[in-house]
């Protein structure tokens, strides 16, 4: 049986711990650089009041060019749908009825998508 484990956050110092927990005796490790010059991250702590105002300001300030994409990660499914409504963009979360359609639209039309870590 084959198994694929992916992580963007596992430090090398914890690899042995992962192998022990998962009972992995033989494996192939592929490590890639985490520096991606075409990807930019912006993390903002939002006050409880005015979150949608901040979301709209961030989207306007960023001003995506044709072909560029952006993701607003949200803590809950409800927040995801609220952000999508405010920005007029698709949303993606574990209970989305049309997850594949939302991703296809985002990839073909570019722009923003609101998502949880689903």
**pLDDT score of 49 more than 80:** no
Give percent above pLDDT 70 in the chain: 97
**pLDDT score of 65 more than 80:** yes
| Average pLDDT for 48-60 | 83
CA distance 43 to 15: 27
**Packing angle of the helix pair 51-62, 77-87 (nearest 10 deg):** 50
**pLDDT score of 47 more than 80:** no
């Amino acid at each position: 049986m084959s198994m694929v484990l992916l992580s963007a956050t596992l430090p090398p110092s914890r690899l042995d711990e992962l192998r022990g927990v998962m009972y992995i005796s033989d494996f192939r490790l592929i490590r890639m650089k985490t520096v991606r010059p075409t990807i930019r991250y912006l993390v903002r702590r939002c006050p409880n009041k005015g979150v949608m105002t901040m979301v709209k300001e961030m989207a306007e300030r960023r001003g995506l060019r044709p072909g560029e994409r952006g993701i607003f990660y949200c803590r809950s499914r409800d927040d995801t749908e609220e952000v999508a409504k405010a920005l007029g963009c698709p949303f993606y979360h574990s209970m989305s009825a049309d997850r594949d359609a939302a991703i296809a639209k985002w990839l073909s039309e570019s722009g923003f998508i609101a998502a949880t870590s689903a």
